[in-house]
Amino acid sequence: MPEYEKAMRPEDITRLFVERSNAGDAEGVAALYEKDAVMAYPPGSTTVGRDAIRDLWAQVLAHRPRFEPEEPLPTLVSGDIALTSTPPRDGAGARAQVVRRQPDGSWLRLLDQPEFVTPGR
């Protein structure tokens, strides 16, 4: 795996995600997740593990979507765990991630809820 910039603050992960996604770098996106991370995507299912997350993002990024930075909501930190979130530009709910500080001081995603779907929608 290439050497990637590390997220030294929980909020850095969102910026790095946007940069790497817009570059079509599924490997770089996957590098933002812990080895056994869980992502609630596609809607209604989960993707478990960095390798599966990389494969999922390779499929998504093949369509060349364009991501725009979203202003983060205040981060909640408790020791080595943090909750990050952003309100989507379309106003539909929110995005939330649980991130964990790594032994080198950087942060990686442990749980990722990229879309909250309102029940019955």
Q: What confidence score (pLDDT) does residue 68 get?
A: 86
Residues 6+ apart with CB under 8 A from 45: none
Of 110, 112, 101, 111, whose CA–CA distance to 6 is shortest? Answer: 101
Please state, rounded to an integer, the average pLDDT across all residues of the chain: 91
In this prediction, residue 34 has a pLDDT band, given cuts at 50, 70 and 90, of very high
Token duo for residue 63: 């369509």
Residue range 67-83, pLDDT digits in tens: 888 888 899 999 999 99
Residue with more model confidence, 93 or 100: 100
Task: Report the share of the chain in percent with pLDDT over 70.
Answer: 90
| Residues sharing a CB contact under 8 Å with residue 23, sequence separation 6 or more, in sequence order | none
pLDDT band at 115 (very low <50, low <70, confident <90, very high): confident
The type of residue at 114 is: P
Ramachandran quadrant class, 63 (left: phi over 0; alpha: psi -120 to 50; beta: rest) = alpha
Instruction: Examine the pLDDT at 60 and tell me if it is beyond 80.
Output: yes
Give the Cα separation of 57 and 42 in Å (integer): 11
Stated pTM of the model: 0.90
What does the pLDDT read at residue 99? 98
- Alpha-carbon distances of 55 from 14, 27, 98, 120, rounded to whole Å: 19, 9, 21, 29
